[in-house]
Structure formats: structure tokens, C-alpha cells
Structure 1
Amino acid sequence: MWILDSWCGRGGVGFCDLDQGARIHREEYAPPFYIAFPDADRHGDLVEGLSGRFRVDECTFTTIFGKVAGYAVFAGQNAAGVIARQSGQDVELYNVDLRCDQRWMAERRISPCTPSDVSRFTPDFERDLRLVRIAVHGSLMRPHEFSCIAVTDGGRCERIRGPEKTVLADLGSMIAGLDPDVILFPDADVRAPALVARAQELDIDLPLSRTGHYTRLSATSYWSYGKVHYRGCALLPQGRVLIDTVQSFVYQEGGLSGVLLASRLTGMPPNFVSRHTPGTLVSAYEAYEAVSRGIAVPFHKKGPEENRSFAFLREMDRGGMMFQPVSGVYGDIAEIDFTSLYPSIIVRENLSPETIRSTEKAGFLAQALGPLLDLRVLTKEMKKHNSRYDGADAILKWLLVVSFGYTGFRNARFGSIEVHEKITAHARRILIEAKERAEDSGFEVLHGIVDSLWIHGGGDIGRLQRSLYQATSIPVEVDRFSWIAFLPQNDGTGAFTRYFGRRENGNLKVRGIAVRRHDTPPHIRKMQERILALMQTAVAPEDLHGLGGRAADLYHAAVRDLPSAPPSELVIRKRVSTTAYRHACLEGSAVATYRRNGIDIAPGMTLAYVVRDARRHVVDPAGECAGGADLHYYRELAKRAWEEVSFVFGEYCGTCVGRRDLRAVPVS
């Protein structure tokens, strides 16, 4: 069995099995949810009333804290809400809102995109999936126009042009003939619903779905890590994978292999995982692990944080540790990185909500994250020799990073703020110990961020690496740099997360500058990329001095070419946190402009626009730029991008300062 896709239906689950020629199966499946009352005698009438409407069985089920006596209720999620209200919230609910297809697979210990005899925890995908790319030409401001559609199968691209009815009919015929398993489709979540609706109006068969049916995801805005995000409504075909290659975070980070691995690990279909954040996927992964181990998944986290003294919080809740660098360019640098430090601490220290008071038994979080962590160590090594593992490694990195943050999330099913605090406390001790061991080994520590140190000196780096592993049991990676530049903040002090440097293998590592920011226009990004490529030729800090003139020429050429740059090269992409702006600004103008064009805007959406007049806050949507661009505004953007990198050609190039200037800063 090789399940490509799965979905929930009335009283059962459906799935597409590629081992049987993409055959569609349906299984009857209506599992119960579980309830437990702290005082069952108080709610006897409620249980009796439930028994009159639904099947209710007395039972004992398992949570991470142990066995619980309660009831299995064979009803839907709405019934759980009624029970909660009628009991005055004096009830514990479990397995209420799990996707039935995920739960069905977890109980059988099978998962999507995985052969029956293969572990979920492998990054290899031996099956060749039939993949097709579809692209609708035209502006997103007019998503219902279909005069030209490109279909790419392998290396062959065919453009379908003509009247709308002809284009849609030919597209339907091509999909039916190719019968792809996976469709990669830019802006699919905007285009596909319009395509399907128009095809139905014209009575055209457009078989995006292998069953003819679709699952709809509603649009939502939500907060994550201090930012507002938006997930648009989507139309998910059954039996086929449809990925929005522009909007999918998982696809952007990990490619198709990353999507398939996330599906394999979480038990969720690729259509679902490609449209959700790493936080949702971590929650799904933990739920799958719990169900497969016979552990009930709480509907809402119980047990609020206990009252604790200010002194205790000050000692415990201090976040990660950082050592502030002194801005400058440094040569012969080594970066020491603890692989997946926070998840490694969870596993090593057996941290989980149920082990806070007693560590005698194995904790659920530690057991669940252990295989994920082992897989990350494997893919991190494998990608050094084969780039096809890059996507899998990127997704694993995100899942493990978020697994730590999720322990402190107030709605995390298996979260606990005390676990979160213990993790960061261990991490602070590890980084401080690593700093001291490095200094004792003859190195100077230039910078440190939570799980990494940048060091300089003539000590034995291999011996230090082995020493740190022996002390922590956490794998330690060493990355050597010919030179690295730590950039200054506005006040002249070193920036924590803005730096770039040349590795000994000639590649660059870049963080925090324009080329890495999502809102940088392509024209400006390309300018900075060219300058960084020039810097790659410098094999030592002193070589950078001689490149300043050529780098300046690249900057001036980019500024000179601005008037002739096509509008697509000047597009700015901004995520809006609100749709109601008190003061005039470019983002507010973009929101208003999109709305005038009939596009509904919600917080968290990313808007693409070209600035026509920055002083008057006038913008044009991407693809609709008719009035030209504000060249003065774009020259300023180019100047800022130049100043970020031209720092290395100045007076600080080649300097190196001692540890006396290093400052430890705890961060939350």
C-alpha cells in the first residue's frame, strides 16, 4: 500500500493507493472521543442524557499522565462542545478534533507516502510520481480570466491559447490524458477554485480531482511567533496532490520531497501539510505519535501555570543566551553549532509535562522527538554528499525548531511552560560551558547565538569539538570561514543576526541583509547578490580592500539601470498585519488599491506592489503598474542595500578584537 492522498467522509475515510494504480478506497470508520469528569457523581444526569442519544461506553483510557476512568462517546465534535458547556467546563475531553484519516492511519501505524514495509523515519522516496506543472498566465487581479495556460510534463511545455471554453476543455483533456499524481501550480489556491467553478458553468470536465470531489479549506488569519499570518481558502482535490508553489511555506522551504516527508511524519495528506505552518505540523506529528502509542490526545490543555514568585521567574524564565559581537571583519573563523540543541535537550533530559515532578518513566515528548532528532542528524550528514536531501533536512530543521517553541504555547496539547523554561536553562548552561571550554582551548569567542559560537584562534578545533560532544552528548558541527563580517547596529554596537562570511569551501553564509528579506525588490536583491558574489573571490579579509571599487561600480550600475528596469523587478512583497491603518503608509495604500480592484484583504496576507509615489503613498498592484515607479524611492532602497555590504570595505576590515569586548545577553 502506498497512500498518496486521504480525506474524511461521512462515517469513514477515503484514500488513494498508488500500489493499486491510483485506486480509490473507502473504509467505514467512526471512532469515539473520550471524556472524564474530575467528579463523575456530579454529572450522572449528563452521562445518562448522552446515553439516550449516542452510544456511550464506560472505559479506561491512557493519557501521558497515566490511566483515566471515563467514557467513550460515539458522536461528533459538536457533541463534545455541548458536553463542555453543560458540565460548566468541568470535563476533560480527548481525541475530539483529530482528523479521522490521520487517526485511522495512526491506529494502524501506517502513513501517507510510505510503503507498507518501510519506516516513516526515512528520507528516501523510491516511487516516481507523475508530476505536472500548470501555470495560468495573467494578473491575479483578474483570476477569472483563462486565455493562456501552460502545462509542463517533464521537459515538454505546451501553451494552451484561445477562447476560454477551448482553453479549459483542452486543459481538462491534458489532465485526463497525463493523469498526474502531483500538480505544481503557482497561486493554485486563487486560481484553482475559479478554474473549477468556470469549468462547471461551461459543463466542461476538468479532472483536477480523481473522484470528482473536493475538500474546501476556509481562509483564516492567525498569530505565530509575533507575526500575523494568513492562509487563504483552498480547494483540495481528492486522489491527487495540488500544491500552491507560491503560497506553500513547506514547499518553499523543502520542495516536493519536504512536503512528502512532512506528510509521512504527521500522517496528514500532502494537500493538507503543504497548506499549514510548521507549528500545525508539529502538533499533528505529536498527535500521530500519541495515537500510535495508545495515548489519548487532549482537546484542550489542562493544568494552568502555577503561581510562582518573581525571583523564581527571573531565575528560570530568561530565554536563550547570546553573546553580542563587536562589529568588524574577522579572518580564520570557526562556527561551532550544536545540532538541534533544544530538541536534543528534551530527549537527553527526558523533558515532558509528566516528567517535571518525576523523571522515573520515559516522557512522551522525549520519546516522540527522539526518532525525529535521529532523522535530522542523518539528513544533515547526507545532504553534505547529496543535494536531494536538502528539502527533507530543511523541513526537519523547522519541525524541531518549532517543537521547542510549541512547549511554551498556551494551546499546545502536550505543552508546559515549565518544560520550556527547563529547556532554555539547560541551553544557557551548555552555551556558557562551550564558551569556557573554547577559551580554555586557546580560542577567542567573537559571537554566540543560543546554539552556536564563532571562535578565532590557534587551538585544536577537532579536540574542542570532541570535548563538547563528550560533555553534552549532542552532535557538534564545525564550519570554517575564511572571513566573516559582523555588521553594526545603528548605535554602532554589533548586530546579533546580521552577518555574512565566506566559508573555506568558497560558499557564502548570509543572514539579516536585503538579499535575505522577502520584501526586497528583485532589482535590489540582484544588485546585492552580484556584490556578494564578488566578495566570494576574497580568500582573506585583506583581499576585500581591493574589491571596493568594483563593488561600487555594481552599485552605481544598478542605480543607473533603475529607469529601464521592468516593473516586475521593482515589486515589493509585504505581509500586512492589519487592514485598518491610522496613518498614511505604503501598506495601507496597497490594501486600499487591492480592494478597489475587488480583492478581499485579510491580516497576514502578502501584497505585491510597485511604489509609484512614496511621498503621496501611491502604489500599483504587481502586474498593473501603469504610471511608472518612484525612482527616488528605489534609489534609497539601493543605497541602503549597498551600505549593508560596503561596511566590509571600510576601516574595520581585518580587525579582530578580544573577548574583553564580548557581552552576554539573555534573550527570550
Structure 2
Amino acid sequence: MTYGRTVYQSGAHYLFGRWHLDLKNSFYFKECGWEGLYEIARIAKIPVQRAARTTIGTSLSSMQLDVALRRGLWVPMDKAQAEDFRPASDLVVADKGGLVYEPDIGWFENVAEYDFVSMYPTLMVKHNISPETVNCECCDRGVGAEEMVEGRQPGNRDRGVGAEEMVEGRQPGNRDRGVGAEEMVEGRQPGNRDKNSVPEIGHHLCSRRQGIVPEVLVPILKKRAEYKRRVKAGDPQAAAFKARADAHKWSLVTSFGYLGFKNARFGKIEAHESVTAWGRETLLRAKDFVEERGFHVLHANVDCVWIQGRPGMEYEALRREIETAGGCSVGLEGVYKWLRFCPSKTDPLSGVPNRYFGAFRNGELKIRGLALRRRDTPEIFKRMQKDMLAVLAEAEDVAGCRARAGRLADIADGVRERIAIGRVEAAELAVTFTLSKDPSDYVANGPSAVAVKRLAASGVQLHAGETVRYVIRSAGDKIAEMRATPLAFVSEAPEVDTRKYLELWERCRNEIMDGLEGPKANAEELREIPGSAVDGVAEPDVVFPQEAQAKEPQLKSARAVNAARHARKAARLKIRSRPKAESLGPELPFGPEPGGDGHVFPGPLNALL
């Protein structure tokens, strides 16, 4: 899965009479091992050595072609198929993607994370979403003139009005159910009109025949569920079953994206939009259901929801209720002892959907969006954050995290000292950079481009998608070649830009330490949310610092906060301004630098604060 990244893959070399498996360039083998590779080759009906080098989309297309040929259907000869013409107003409504909320910022306790299991593939099967079933000609959305004249209800063109139905007062084509009062009041026809209509965007789905895509996904979903059940039951072959389940996971993930891929033989953008529309509807139903029962939803992201728990609550019982309300299988990812939702680096009043970290009750850590998850972060900073998080994992609550702030500071300070005195190896400071184009196409002379150009000038052949490692020598030097040194050219005692690396150190340190040090809470705005976070600490009752209580509640000036962006939160947040610039954390504009003297800027600049 590239997710927009440029990836380099060398050419394939197939042998006759023996297998040649290039394990370095095999996605399936890297992610799922031998068992996963064999499983995909078998169900996709592709030779093993070819399956090892093919993409997930190619394997999925092979499964779809197999179903189409067995059903005697025609296969599109051309891949690139244009979507139907629509006005721009329809695109604004339909082209929205998954539902992503802005999380509350702070440190929280007893948070349950619920995950819809294979949400999009399940919805594709449940609602029969496939390119040929979206807006099909056999199932009309409205009442046509022909149907009105003949007295038949829409969606039942294959049968007329029976005498039995007229006597019993039931609508034709729905012999198994009577006319409900709710349907009559709302003016809806009983049957499948609402069932087969995609919420919000208005597409309709076929109710007469199963689509190719759902037919392909049904056995994959069943096999993966069975493999996961056997793994959970402790089967002796659990490792093999887990590898096979992981292989099917990638097929399921790709099945959704391939619906909107322009080069997919069985792709259609309207089908892709229908899946995301049902996904938004499902997540909204779950969120509304939880809030109606008095729980606070901290965050929701496409197919996951984070809920603030209560002492002694039954998390498994709530899972079953959410599953019933949402109509899809729901899993309890876990219950966090503590969880941190990080603020944006550019706007400290806004949360970031994919930047959080926390510890489950079993001690396992879940980390998203931190520096240690980035491919380009130097190893010394990755190891620093891992060591800091390992200490935090010992804490049972937010108070325990605060109590360990001193140990975290010691770990970070030790790394800072090593960088400052130059007692660090070049490999630990190396930045990993992936080329997005050929070396000759780079125009700017940033450190990454300089390293690439120096390698190319020395005779190293580089292609888009390959990676290089380099050390920052002097990031702001006027001479371009002095800005970076490829790791291959570095001597035992490398010359590095100490100031630049200390800036990176500070950024990595603050990602974890903010909200844990001292009463000022490092960049957290005071928020009045019952049961949420104040200054980075989750408390049932909000208690503001004494100096802040003397101030009248007021919104920040337009210079500090984009009013339009935060209008939706103004109703539930009371943002109180700090009396002095010193109280601003390092993430806020014009705040004092960490470890600085905390002075107030003179003149007009101080007035802005």
C-alpha cells in the first residue's frame, strides 16, 4: 500500500522449472509471510512466483474476473472508464470521503476504543454495492409514468397488483409485511425504496441481483473471520492462520479503494461514493446512540470511535449495543488506562485526528502520528521517544504519567547532552529521504536534494522511489554542498548542524512532554468541558487556576484564533486568555522557548499577546 508515496520496484525475473521469489520486493511476503502468499495465490488463481510480485489490486482483479467469467458476464476491455456527467452541486454533496471528527485535546482516562470490523467491505456486501448495481436501470428510484398508469409500485416491475393483496390492504410486491403507520405518515412506500437508496447522495442500489464485488468479498470476509476465531481460540496453527487473515485484510482494504480507481476494470466512482456515504451514516448512528446514553465521544475517525468511560461500566455490553445500532460488526480495540490527544502544531486550539498515543490496560501502547512513526526521523529521536513511552506505559492513570515527568525529562536531557557534545554516531543522526522523482529533476537545494545530487554526481544511480540517508551538516549554509552529507560519505567524526538537531530534539521531546510538566500545562488552553481535560489533566470537575478565575471569560482575539474555524466549538468551549505571555506554552504563537528565560516581548509585539 503506497498511499500516494513513490515506491521503486526492480524488474521481475521469472524462472522455468523452479520458483524465483524476490522476497525483498514482495509485499505479501513482507506483510504475511509464506502462509499469506500461498493463500492469496490460491484464491486469486495466480502462480506463486507471479503472485509474489503482483500488487494487491492485480490479485483482487483476478478474483473479480474469475467470478465474472463463471457467471458468463462480459469483461470490460478498456480499464479507463469515465464517470457519468453530474453538476458540481452534486459532487459537493457526494465527494466527501469518510467522516472524521476533530478530537478533544488533552489527557484522558478510561477511554474505550471501538472499531467497526472491516466496515467498508461489510457495507459493500450488506448493501450490494458494485459498479453494475449502482443506479441500475432495472430498479428505478422514482415512480415512472408506466408504473403510475398500470397501478404498480416502483421497484416491482415484474409483477402486477394481485387481488389477494388488494383485499388484505397490503402493497404489491411486499407480501411479507403490511403497511406500517410510520411509512404512511411519512409518505413513503413500503418495501425497498429507502432500503436501497444511498443516504445523503441519492444513488440507488440494485435489489434484484447480487453484484460482482459483493460476491467476491463474501468468502473473503467469512474466511478471515474464521481464521481470526481460530487464532483467538489458541489453535496450534494460530501463527499460520494469523498470516492468512492478514493477507485477506489487505484484499479487503484494497477492495474499497479499487472501486474509485480509474484503471480498475470493475470500478465506478458512484460505487465508491456510495460506500463512503453508508460509512458516514453508520458512524453517525453509532455516535448518536452513544451520546443518547449519556457518554461523551472524544473522537471519531471513519470506522473508529473513542468514548469516555465510567467507573465500573460494562464495555462489552456497550459494544454489543453499538453493533446493533450501527448494523455492522464492532470490536472493542481496548480500554486505555490513559490516552493523549495531541494539538495541532500550527493551531494549538485544534486537535489532530491521527496524532495520539496511549496505554491499554494490558500495558500495550498504541501510537499514531508521533515522530517515531515517521520514516525520516533520525534513529536517535525514535529511540528517545520509545524509551519515554515505555516509562509512561507503567503509569495507571494521568496522575501517574505526571509523576513520571522527571524520568522522562532525564531521558530527553541525556539525548540532548550527547548531541550537544558530539558524542553520537552518524548513523543515529541520519535522515532517511525517499525520492519522489529522478535526481536531475530536483531544482531546489534543500538538504535532501543536496544529498541526492551529491550521490548522483559520484556515479550512484538513483530512481524515484528509492531512499537515501544523509546527515545535516549546515542546513542554512550559503554553499549548497555544505548543507548535507550522504551517510556513505561521512567519516567517523561527522560534522553536523548541532543547532538543527537540537531543534528536532525539542520537537520530539515536546510531543510527549506537553501537558505533563508543571501547573502551566505547556500549551493547553483552559477548557471548560465536564469530564474532559483541563490543562492536560482529565478531571470530573473543572478547576481553573486562581489567577485565571479573576479574568472575565472571553474568546481569544482574531489574531490568535480563526473564528470561522472554531465557530462550531464555541458553543461548548469557553476559551480563557492567559494574563501573561509567560503562561503560554511552547506550542502557542510567540510563547517562550522551552528552557528560555520566559521574558515578555517589548513594544507592539507584546501588545499582540
TM-score of the pair, normalised by structure 2 = 0.67
Q: Of 322, 327, 331, which residue of structure 2 is paired with 1:477?
A: 331
SS in 2 for 1:564: coil
1:486 Cα deviation after fit: 0.5
1:531 Cα deviation after fit: 0.7
**Structure 1 residues 605 and 526 mapped into 2: Cα distance closer, same or farther (>3 Å)?**
same
Structure 1 contact 501–508 (Cα < 8 Å) conserved? yes
How many pairs align? 440
Give 1 or 2 for the bigger CA radius of gyration: 2
SS in 1 for 2:297: strand
Structure 1 contact 326–661 (Cα < 8 Å) conserved? no
For 1:653, give the aligned amino acid.
Answer: G
Listed as ranges, the matches of 1:530-541 within 5 Å are: 530-541=387-398
CA distance in 2: counterparts of 1:523 and 1:262, whole angstroms: 38
CA distance in 1: counterparts of 2:297 and 2:364, whole angstroms: 23
Listed as ranges, the matches of 1:556-635 within 5 Å are: 556-562=413-419, 563-579=422-438, 580-616=441-477, 618-626=483-491, 628-632=494-498, 633-635=500-502
SS in 2 for 1:498: strand
Q: Deviations over 1:236-282 (max 9, x none)?
A: 4452343344x544344333433333333333344444444433443
The aligned residue for residue 287 of structure 2 is 435
Q: Of 638, 650, 662, which residue of structure 1 is paired with 2:505?
A: 638
SS in 1 for 2:353: strand
The aligned residue for residue 549 of structure 1 is 406
Q: Determine if the alignment matches structure 1 residue 378 to structure 2 residue 233.
A: no
The aligned residue for residue 654 of structure 1 is 537
CA distance in 1: counterparts of 2:56 and 2:404, whole angstroms: 41
CA distance in 1: counterparts of 2:390 and 2:369, whole angstroms: 17
CA distance in 2: counterparts of 1:586 and 1:472, whole angstroms: 49
The aligned residue for residue 188 of structure 2 is none
Q: Deviations over 1:172-211 (max 9, x none)?
A: xxxxxxxxxxxxxxxxxxxxxxxxxxxxxxxxxxxxxxxx
Structure 1 contact 576–604 (Cα < 8 Å) conserved? yes
SS in 1 for 2:265: coil
Q: Determine if the alignment matches structure 1 residue 337 to structure 2 residue 115.
A: yes
The aligned residue for residue 594 of structure 2 is none
CA distance in 2: counterparts of 1:252 and 1:631, whole angstroms: 36
**Structure 1 residues 639 and 249 mapped into 2: Cα distance closer, same or farther (>3 Å)?**
farther
CA distance in 1: counterparts of 2:62 and 2:512, whole angstroms: 41
Aligned residues: CA RMSD: 2.8
The aligned residue for residue 604 of structure 2 is none
Q: Of 212, 218, 228, which residue of structure 2 is paired with 1:364?
A: 212
SS in 2 for 1:231: coil
**Structure 1 residues 631 and 369 mapped into 2: Cα distance closer, same or farther (>3 Å)?**
same
Where does structure 1 lack aligned partners over 5 or more consecutive residues? Answer: 1-222
Structure 1 contact 501–510 (Cα < 8 Å) conserved? yes
For 1:637, give the aligned amino acid.
Answer: L
The aligned residue for residue 56 of structure 2 is 278
CA distance in 2: counterparts of 1:589 and 1:280, whole angstroms: 37
1:457 Cα deviation after fit: 3.1
The aligned residue for residue 145 of structure 2 is none
Q: Percent identity?
A: 32
For 2:366, give the aligned amino acid.
Answer: K
Structure 1 contact 323–662 (Cα < 8 Å) conserved? no
- Greater relative contact order structure (CA < 8 Å, 6+ sep): 2
CA distance in 2: counterparts of 1:274 and 1:520, whole angstroms: 30
Structure 1 contact 575–607 (Cα < 8 Å) conserved? yes
Where does structure 2 lack aligned partners over 5 or more consecutive residues? Answer: 137-205, 522-534, 542-567, 573-609
1:508 Cα deviation after fit: 0.5
Structure 1 contact 328–656 (Cα < 8 Å) conserved? no
Q: Deviations over 1:188-235 (max 9, x none)?
A: xxxxxxxxxxxxxxxxxxxxxxxxxxxxxxxxxxx9543333222344
CA distance in 2: counterparts of 1:565 and 1:296, whole angstroms: 63
For 2:295, give the aligned amino acid.
Answer: F
The aligned residue for residue 229 of structure 1 is 7
1:573 Cα deviation after fit: 2.0
For 2:490, give the aligned amino acid.
Answer: C
For 2:486, give the aligned amino acid.
Answer: P
**Structure 1 residues 233 and 572 mapped into 2: Cα distance closer, same or farther (>3 Å)?**
farther
CA distance in 2: counterparts of 1:464 and 1:619, whole angstroms: 54
The aligned residue for residue 276 of structure 2 is 424
Structure 2 contact 431–471 (Cα < 8 Å) conserved? yes
1:549 Cα deviation after fit: 1.0
- Runs in 1 of length 4+ with deviation above 6 angstroms? none
